[in-house]
Chains A and B, each alone.
Chain A
Amino acid sequence: MYRSHVLVCGGTGCTSSHSAEIIEALESELKAKGLENEIKVIKTGCFGLCALGPIMIVYPEGCFYSEVKVEDVPEIVEEHLLKGRMVKRLIYDETITQDEIKPLNETNFYKKQNRIALRNCGVIDPESIEEYIAMDGYQALAKCLTEMTPEEVIQVVKDSGLRGRGGGGFPTGLKWSFTAKNAADQKYVVCNADEGDPGAFMDRSVLEGDPHCIVEAMTICGYATGATEGYVYVRAEYPIAVARLDKAIRDARENGLLGKNIFDSGFDFDLHIRLGAGAFVCGEETALMTSIEGNRGEPRPRPPYPAVKGLFGKPTTENNVETFANIPQIILHGAEFFSSMGTEKSAGTKVFALGGKINNTGLVEVPMGTTLREVIEDIGGGIPNGKKFKAAQTGGPSGGCIPASLMDTPIDYDNLTAIGCMMGSGGLIVMDEDNCMVDIAKFFLDFTVDESCGKCTPCRIGTKRMMEILEKITDGKATLADLDELEKLAYYIKENSLCGLGQTAPNPVLATLRFFKDEYIAHIVDKKCPAGVCKALLSYSIVADKCKGCTLCSRKCPVGAISGTVKEPHTIDTTKCIKCGVCMDSCKFGAIIKK
């Protein structure tokens, strides 16, 4: 029996800030103090508050240490674990009030969250099947196999109102029922873990923090739809997720939770992992299946839909990681439990990966219908450096943006579609006044140009042409006619592309055109970039009144574009200047401006 549990985050964020070394140091330090049989160290999945990583929680006190360094470990062991004195300087300041530890779920970051899909992330050891079972794991599967018919399982999922969390928002129960009604000698379940949107990491975190829930949910789906085999398609760039999922599958097999005759019900099911090489198009369901089959990842026309003719030509149900992560809770607590959360047409919760210009970078799960303002200001802790919020990009390269004026829109599938945006997989990139919206549109389009598989012409060539127009705009060489052409092309590509990649690729352009047309006009007519991002439209100059002639900028300039004598105002030769901004960053007197 251990008297204390120390949970250290082993998610990707904290691992990259050395949590693995912290665990190692902790274990050796505990050993040196003879505490290894009293204190248990547990590597968990993502806590969500990645901005403060590496994170460590010590129970039973529930003491939340943030930004822990390897050097801090001896102090934590000596002071806290041996002598019972918490190391106050490392405690997350929001959780400590006058010597009292406030529970973590009362902090601003966690208070408004409701963790269903992420319920075990940061709570259990993802590599221990026992800990998953302790949190009621595999009970939903047992309930399905021993008490429910496949039709009843599908009915519960239907009634819950769960919709696909990968972005499309198709009702999950309905999807399952399509596969179920198609008779075939073999059917499949596929989990889409090919999370490719820049800035999105929720599927990764679920797989890293709670891999067994995906194993359980896929088995339930197999039972409901009549499939006996499942594939998880996960990117090879997610090594921690792959390793933990692999262990979860092996442990489940060993415990008879995968394999033949599960729970003595006569139902057989097994799972396999397939690694994706990182092509964005493989997140599209038909391309993903083509890739699992061992072919080049290219989409195929629908219909036939996967429910009729999917993987290896057999009826297949494909869901995203987060969708699956909700299933065991729905089965255990009933459809009502899930449908009571969220909005009328979008039940439940949604996980968002907060990134960009925001204080609390990380992973949050909120009920559908929460406003963007609550997510960004309350949970996310607002914009750093007192800057003004400009827009949030949702849905990555397939999505759009929500401008500051629509910050109070409740976030759900239909509201986002209504404002020309898209839920997407849940990447939420926050932008402030220093971000140029044309540049953002260009960034995402650049991504899709790169990732277009090339099978259909509108996507392959159309996105490239759009990109060229955007480059003209940011170079200050475009005319207003180009803007009309850009818009026309965008709608053409949307309507004529073969798969979701092309059909949504113009969205970032259309959304920014809708809300930030003035910025496009400024680039084209005034030849100015209002946010000061597009280099071709910028010029740096020195304000003579403020320049003290310290010569620092001229020494820093990599191309020797700044000249002047000591203690006299300097000047910038704009023909030599490469607009790198080094001079502006180094000037101590604020004498350099860009416009």
Chain B
Amino acid sequence: MKSLEELMAIRDKARASMTDREGTGEGIRVVVGMATCGIAAGARPVLNAFVEEVAKRGLKNVTVAQTGCIGMCQYEPIVEVFAPGKEKVTYVKLNPENVPEIVANHIVNGNPVVELTVGAIVKD
């Protein structure tokens, strides 16, 4: 180790992989439905895509968590995004390709991707 910069580089890299241990703070929570129905519909690749995308952008205060069956199994994979002080946004029938768009537009810039939400897709 020759310099402080070298140490800081190791620190930042190591810290990025440990953000999920900082606990559930006040930030945005992305919750992926990972019950049997969700898994069968492909929720795991979606969950992993969120984890990777959040890490790639080095986003702080974003927690990616999983939950059980939300109750609308036919619309899985379902992802809910909770932002402080805002209404919950529910995305349905996601696939990993949708994830970068949601992270960029919604989580970073605060504009939900309306066409992927439950309100746009579920029409009766």
Contacts and interface: CB of A to CB of B under 8 A. Distances in A.
A131 interface: yes
Interface residues of A, number: 35
A264 B64 contact: no
Contacts of A146: 4
Given A84-B34, A103-B24, A139-B7, A131 B1 contact: no
B107 interface: no
Contact of B21 (A59, A263, A264): A59
Interface stretch (A1-9, A240-248, A311-319, A346-354): A1-9
A142 B65 CA distance: 36
Interface string A128-162: 00110110111100100010000000000000000
A133 B4 CA distance: 12
Interface in B43-80: 44, 47-48, 50-52, 55, 63-68
B51 A2 contact: yes
A1 B58 CA distance: 12
B1 A257 contact: yes
B35 A85 contact: yes
A256 interface: yes
Nearest to B34: A84
B14 A131 contact: yes
Contacts of B18: 5, 124, 131, 134
Nearest to A254: B1
A270 to B, nearest CB: 14
Contact of A262 (B1, B15, B20, B50): B1
Interface string B1-23: 11110010011011101101101
A60 interface: yes
A84 B35 contact: yes
Interface string A1-20: 11111010000000000000
State the main secondary structure of chain A at its contact with B.
loop
A60 B17 CA distance: 12
Interface residues of B, number: 35
B92 interface: no
Nearest to A252: B1
B12 to A, nearest CB: 8
Interface string A480-504: 0000000000000000000000000
Contacts of A134: 11, 14-15, 17-18
Given A263-B3, A263-B4, A60 B11 contact: no
A10 to B, nearest CB: 16
A93 B26 CA distance: 24
A60 B15 CA distance: 15
Nearest to B13: A130
Contacts of B1: 138, 142, 255-257, 262-263
A576 interface: no
A144 B13 CA distance: 23
20 contacts: A1-B52, A3-B66, A4-B20, A5-B20, A60-B21, A61-B24, A84-B66, A85-B67, A85-B68, A123-B21, A133-B10, A134-B18, A136-B11, A138-B7, A139-B4, A139-B7, A142-B1, A142-B4, A257-B1, A263-B4
